[in-house]
């Protein structure tokens, strides 16, 4: 989808006009790299620009950025959260947060947080797909409450539950990898110390 500069009668004070384009969720495509520069809260992948955070996409000059809105007022920096991976791209995974450690009930509002490839584990990780899988249940620490970004670098953080990408059976831990007891498929993950223990 192409973004239009929705300037109707703004021409007069053209110095620093910002146009609010639309509300976006993390992972929403907001344009092409050949049209706009990626500003705050925006990342580029394959020539396309995507929102890294939930908020309002704003176009200022040729730069598109996303002004974050906090969807989860109960979530603070440093909190430990539980969530389900709803999308995995080359450089980031999107996680729907459902629980917060220390809170007995589910959160009143769920929200989509972002786990960037650089925050998955200590040391270089080339492709997030070798550490985080679609539909995984993960435990993570909130490192930025405004942008809702997560980290799974600590040993306790990472994947708690995962299903086989081949046959959908639940995977069991086998040393540093996960193995499917049904079809024998082996998958790599950033595994939490609590994997498969039914606790977090």
Q: Under the rule (CB under 5 A), what is the footprint of Zn ion?
A: 164, 166-167, 169, 180, 182-183, 185
3-state DSSP helix/strand/coil % of the chain, to nearest 5: 5, 40, 55
* Residue 48, phi then psi, degrees to nearest 5: -115, 155
- Shortest Cβ 162–Zn ion spacing (Å): 11
Q: How far from 187 is each of 76, 95, 159, 161, CA to CA, in Å?
A: 32, 19, 12, 12
User: Token digits for 136?
Assistant: 């995984």
In the complex with Zn ion, the residue whose CB is nearer, 99 or 179, is: 179
- Shortest Cβ 169–Zn ion spacing (Å): 5
- Shortest Cβ 86–Zn ion spacing (Å): 21
| Cα 93 from Cα 87, distance rounded (Å) | 6
- Shortest Cβ 170–Zn ion spacing (Å): 9
Estimate to the nearest angstrom the gap between the alpha carbon of 18 and the chain centroid.
Answer: 26
User: Token digits for 32?
Assistant: 């092409």
In the complex with Zn ion, the residue whose CB is nearer, 101 or 169, is: 169
In the complex with Zn ion, the residue whose CB is nearer, 73 or 184, is: 184
In the complex with Zn ion, the residue whose CB is nearer, 91 or 185, is: 185
């Amino acid at each position: 989808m192409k973004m239009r500069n929705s300037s109707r009668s703004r021409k007069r004070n053209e110095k620093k006009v910002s146009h609010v384009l639309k509300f976006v969720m993390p992972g929403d495509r907001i344009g092409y790299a050949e049209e706009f520069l990626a500003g705050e809260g925006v990342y580029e992948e394959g020539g396309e620009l995507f929102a890294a955070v939930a908020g309002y996409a704003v176009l200022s000059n040729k730069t598109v950025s996303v002004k974050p809105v906090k969807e989860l007022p109960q979530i603070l920096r440093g909190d430990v959260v539980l969530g389900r991976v709803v999308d995995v791209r080359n450089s980031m995974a999107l996680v729907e947060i459902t629980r917060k450690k220390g809170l007995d009930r589910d959160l009143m509002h769920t929200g989509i947080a972002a786990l960037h490839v650089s925050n998955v584990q200590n040391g270089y990780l080339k492709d997030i797909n070798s550490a985080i899988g679609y539909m995984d249940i993960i435990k993570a620490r909130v490192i930025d409450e405004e942008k809702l970004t997560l980290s799974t670098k600590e040993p306790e953080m990472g994947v708690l539950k995962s299903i086989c990408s081949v046959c959908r059976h639940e995977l069991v831990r086998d040393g540093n990898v996960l193995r499917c007891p049904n079809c024998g498929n082996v998958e790599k993950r950033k595994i939490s110390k609590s994997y498969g223990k039914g606790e977090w």
